[in-house]
Amino acid sequence: MRAILALVLLATTLGAAKPEFYLHDGDTVVFYGDSITAQRLYTVYAETFILTRFPNLRIRFVHSGFGGDRVSGGLGGTIEERLRRDVFPYRPTVVTIMLGMNDGEYHPFNSGIFRGYSDGYGHILERLKTQLPRTRVTLLEPSAYDDVTRPPSFDGGYNSVLRKFGEFVRELGKSNGLLVADLNTPVVALLRAANEVASEDAKRLIADRVHPSPGVHLVMAEALLKSWRAPGMVTNVEIDSAAGTATVAENTTVEDVEIDGDLKWRQLDRALPMAVEADDGMLALALRCSDFTETLNQETLKITGLAEGAYRLGIDDDTIGSFTAEQLGAGINLATRTTPMSAQAREVLGLTHRHNHLHFARWMMVENAFKDYDLKKVRATADSLDALEDEAIALQRATAQPKPHRYRLMKE
């Protein structure tokens, strides 16, 4: 009986275990796609999230989007040239692919055009399987064309074409055992929600109907991160002010809780919140009209046992805000506030942009710009920029390491 009970308990424990995050220490991720990937926004947000949520994972990110690309290639070269130059040399363990916006040619659905897309997509997967047989591939259903905030250009609209392409990508992933993330549905939902509350601003979410603003890219990054089983919790802390003890401390260490008129403690987290540039109007609108914060950016602090009244929360030398005992008892989300942790995360985001700017300069302004010329300094210049990017990545990773902070709660 005891053996049976033990097995039942083990099965229950395993069944309740949280699924492991998709990326592993030592992975190299190549983001492949067209101009939407070349904007380096959903990719930068995903990279920054992973670095701040998992600061001890060493993962390399390479952004290989090229404007105008299709499954056959484009301005950056044929698909063979693109794969040979922009994917294979990095020996990625993970590749994401988002193509389709240009492949549909901005016309109503055409079976001949679709056949070219499906054949070309299949060819890309075959080349990856041959050249990088152990690489894990995540297929991204094409992002949305805005047929929500403005009337469609033709019956059904161009996004209906992209949805058909997305259905194909979904089935292709299923038949090949590949992970698939839907980057269309959540964007359409965002456009609809924003159109309800701020119709003029909603038009600016995808101003040209093709290339998303930062707010839309954040929602696209959310869809990708969810497919990778990203955790929504940054930290979760609960302190009993009456007892002067930390009763919950998830993904963090809480020490030296004391009451000397004020409630004080020290905290060393294992992650940082996701940096969001809320002063950007389109990002603020996207946060308002999506569930990004609720599902992926929870840095919860709950303080129970407080007498009624208002309290001021400070972290280090910064005042974070004033809250009622009722608000603190229910829990507040520090990720929505300006804190020393969010300031650190914004610095990480800035360094993520910078190292990707370096990679872009090396790739587009040196390697690709002079590919048809026999200039002796091209290789040496590219190598120097690679070395500088390595330094920038080391700085980015060091900046992502959480720091200890002093908390103080004062009665107002």
Is residue 368 classed as helix, strand or coil in its secondary structure? helix
Note down the domain range covering 360.
232-412
Edge to edge, what strands does the sheet with 404-411 contain? 252-259, 263-269, 404-411, 310-315, 318-324
pTM comes to: 0.94
Domain end call among 182, 209, 227: 227
Q: Are residues 121 and 162 in the same domain?
A: yes
Same domain, 117 and 162: yes
- Same domain for 176 and 243, yes or no, is no
User: 149 with 88, same domain?
Assistant: yes
Q: For residues 198 and 320, state if they share a domain.
A: no
- Looking only at the bridges linking them, the beta strands covering 310-315 and 318-324 are antiparallel
**Pair type for strands 298-304 and 263-269:** unpaired
Residue 282 DSSP SS3: helix
Q: Which residue has the tokens 């030296």?
A: 256
Radius of gyration of the chain (CA): 24
C-alpha distances in Å from residue 142, one per residue of 99, 168, 312, 335, 354: 6, 11, 46, 30, 27
Q: Indicate if 280 and 215 belong to the same structural domain.
A: no
CA distance 69 to 82: 10
**Quick one: pLDDT at residue 15?**
45
Domain CATH code at residue 220 = 3.40.50.1110
Residue 279 is predicted with a pLDDT of 75
Strands 298-304 and 233-240, by their bridges, are: parallel
pLDDT tens sequence across 10-47: 444 444 456 799 999 999 999 999 999 999 999 999 99
Q: What is the pLDDT of residue 3?
A: 45
Q: Give the count of domains, the chain.
A: 2
- Residue 309 sits at φ, ψ, to 5 deg, of 135, -175
CA–CA distance, 106 with 102 (Å, rounded to integer): 7
Are both 203 and 287 inside the same structural domain?
A: no
Sequence-ordered list of residues with C-beta below 8 angstroms from that of 129, at least 6 positions apart, any chain: none
- Give yes or no: residues 92 and 188 share one domain: yes
Q: Which residue numbers in the chain have pLDDT < 70?
A: 1-18, 278
| Token pair listed for 345 | 């995360």
Where are the alpha helices (H) located in 177-232, listed in sequence order?
Answer: 185-197, 199-203, 214-227
Considering the domain architecture, whether residues 249 and 383 belong to the same structural domain is answered as: yes
H or E segment and range at residue 246? strand 245-250
Q: How many Å apart are CA 212 and CA 42, to the nearest integer?
A: 9
Q: Are residues 267 and 171 in the same domain?
A: no
In a domain, 20, yes or no: no
* Domain presence at residue 11: no
* Residue 302 domain-assigned (yes or no): yes
Which of 196, 227, 258 terminates a domain? The answer is 227
Q: Minimal CA–CA distance to 43: which of 298, 402, 360?
A: 360
Residue 397's pLDDT is 98
Half-sphere exposure of residue 113: CA atoms within 13 angstroms, side-chain side? 16
Same domain, 208 and 339: no
Residue 14 covered by a domain: no
| Of the residues 227, 242, 268, the one at which a domain ends | 227
Decide if 8 is inside a domain: no
In a domain, 112, yes or no: yes
156 and 271 in a single domain? The answer is no
Task: Examine residue 74 and state whether it is found in any structural domain, yes or no.
Answer: yes
Give domain status of residue 379, yes or no: yes
